[in-house]
Structure 1
Amino acid sequence: MSAFAALSTANYKAAVRDKTTVFFTFAFPLIFLVVFGLIFRGQQVEGSGRNYIDYIAPGVLSWGVANAALFGIAFTLMQWRNDDILRLIRMTPTSVTSVLGARYTGALGVGLVQAVLFVGVALLPVFGLALAGSWPLALPVLLLGVTAFLSIGVVVGSRTNTPEAVAAVANSIMVPMAFLSGSFLPLTLMPEWLQNISRVLPLRYMNDGISAALTGDGDLVTIGVNSAALAGFTVVFGLLAVKTFRWSNNS
């Protein structure tokens, strides 16, 4: 068995063993969908003629997937480094690529399951999401979004040494970004200066790309531009991740 396969198997077994984490990984974003979906049920965004669910569902889905990708890798790297697991792995022929690649495949799997579950709930009559014919194009946007936020998570996990520090830094990134990127409320309701700030946040492009694909709020150009932006964030944070990655707390 290759190092990549062994680490992927180990990651999977460790994940399913922690049933509480598994439950809340999938339930947490659904709670937001249910709350916002019921609050704004049947209402339309003023001036757009579109239902709130068309904004809320793609936005909260993007935030939930991005949140899981960032937190998952950040906590794992911090814990493995503190327990000297990374140091032991380094003494084998295993490369950094195998370590991060195993986590990446796990994050993609979690993201896909989250998306299927989330969209399935949003399609229920009580919420009323209607999928556009372009919905399969949400998959490449989802993949690029997971990749971008996994890269950010590597940076967070490499520069923090305690669970409390990971939670503080990751929440400081994800919570403001959720509101500033339009995950919970349409960007059109925000002041123009906040809309401009959102242009430097990767979650905005994940939101817009998935929204365009799922609900038809945009064409192929819109999806392509947002995908390109996510790829650009991946390159930037990927390079930073390589620079900051540590095998141990002493390195």
Structure 2
Amino acid sequence: MTATGRIGAATSAAWRSFLRRRTAVFFTFFFPVILILIFGVLVGTRPTGGGLFTESPAYYVPGYLAVVVLFTPLSRVGSTVARHREGNRFEKLASTPLTRPEWLLAQTLVNVLIIGLAGLLILGLVVLLTGADVTLSVVVVPFVVVSVALFCGVGALLGSLADSQDGVIAASNSLALPLLFLSDTFVPPDLLPEWFQPVMNVSPLTYFARGVRTVVTGGSGWELDLVVLCVLAVVFFALGAYALPRTD
């Protein structure tokens, strides 16, 4: 079997595994919807007033997308790796032609599909419920794909290093929550202390949020953000694939 055939078979198996976990399917799509209803509808934005949500609705589109781009790969890939370790599946995987990078690529492709569907739902709801004036562009697609690959690599690292599935969940939440709110997503940089603003550039999610915001608001200059994400994605995907155990 060729590499394409191996990756395709592993992707199909991972997709069916996701669909069998109905709770995971439900909350993958339900969680970002809840955030939109709370922040976009109940709280709302006040472009001419004070408070946290002082920007236009379109400003927060990258934040809503970041929820699934960040949380879904970290939790799904991390938990899958931990579950495979506990079930001694990597020992069985080592006896097959499927390599560790191919296995991780298959997991990444499934997450791209899941997050792509969730992203379309999010964009539709944001426009419908908040009246956000967004520019739809295919440029958003590479931002999502590259970022998913990046955080799948991080998820693989967490799953390989944590001692249990509970440990993966705790580690992913501890990493994801600060990144979500301190990466130029929901909180504008000028609302944070001046000394902290350069620190935001350490977060990969910052480049996703800034790049996507530039695209959906019809701006220019998103290319550098995408290049940075591509470099980080290659690095973390390689580290994640390398960290995957050969045996359990």
The change in CA–CA distance for 1:97 and 1:22 in structure 2 (over 3 A counts) is same
Q: Find the counterpart in structure 2 of residue 78 from structure 1.
A: 82
Whole-angstrom CA distance in 2 between matches of 1:35 and 1:119: 16
Q: Find the counterpart in structure 2 of residue 235 from structure 1.
A: 234
1:64 aligns with 2:63: no
Give 4+ residue runs of structure 1 displaced > 4 Å after superposition: none
Residues 63 and 183 of structure 1 are in contact (CA less than 8 Å); yes or no, is this contact kept in structure 2? no
Once the two structures are superposed, the pairs formed by residues 205-216 of structure 1 within 5 Å of their partners are 205-216=207-218
Whole-angstrom CA distance in 2 between matches of 1:41 and 1:242: 41
SS of 2:138's partner is helix
Q: Find the counterpart in structure 1 of residue 7 from structure 2.
A: 4
Whole-angstrom CA distance in 2 between matches of 1:168 and 1:45: 39
Once the two structures are superposed, the pairs formed by residues 54-203 of structure 1 within 5 Å of their partners are 54-124=58-128, 126-132=129-135, 135-203=137-205
Cα offset for 1:29? 1.4
Whole-angstrom CA distance in 2 between matches of 1:45 and 1:150: 39
Q: Deviations over 1:77-111 (max 9, x none)?
A: 11112101111011112211221121011011011
TM-score (norm 1): 0.89
Whole-angstrom CA distance in 1 between matches of 2:189 and 2:159: 30
Whole-angstrom CA distance in 2 between matches of 1:56 and 1:153: 25
One-letter amino acid of the counterpart of residue 140, structure 1: P
Residues 153 and 240 of structure 2 are in contact (CA less than 8 Å); yes or no, is this contact kept in structure 1? yes
Whole-angstrom CA distance in 1 between matches of 2:18 and 2:242: 27
Give aligned-pair identity as a percent: 27
Cα offset for 1:130? 1.4
Residues 35 and 64 of structure 2 are in contact (CA less than 8 Å); yes or no, is this contact kept in structure 1? yes
1:34 aligns with 2:37: yes
Residues 187 and 195 of structure 1 are in contact (CA less than 8 Å); yes or no, is this contact kept in structure 2? yes
SS of 2:195's partner is helix
Q: Deviations over 1:148-173 (max 9, x none)?
A: 11111111111113111001111111
Whole-angstrom CA distance in 1 between matches of 2:166 and 2:140: 33
The change in CA–CA distance for 1:42 and 1:196 in structure 2 (over 3 A counts) is closer
Residues 74 and 157 of structure 1 are in contact (CA less than 8 Å); yes or no, is this contact kept in structure 2? yes
**Structure 1: runs of 5+ lacking an equivalent:** none
Residues 33 and 57 of structure 1 are in contact (CA less than 8 Å); yes or no, is this contact kept in structure 2? no
Whole-angstrom CA distance in 1 between matches of 2:75 and 2:204: 16
Q: Deviations over 1:165-201 (max 9, x none)?
A: 0011111110011111132222222112222111000
SS of 1:192's partner is coil
One-letter amino acid of the counterpart of residue 159, structure 2: G
Residues 100 and 241 of structure 2 are in contact (CA less than 8 Å); yes or no, is this contact kept in structure 1? no
The change in CA–CA distance for 1:71 and 1:123 in structure 2 (over 3 A counts) is same
The change in CA–CA distance for 1:90 and 1:70 in structure 2 (over 3 A counts) is same
Whole-angstrom CA distance in 2 between matches of 1:237 and 1:46: 41
TM-score (norm 2): 0.90
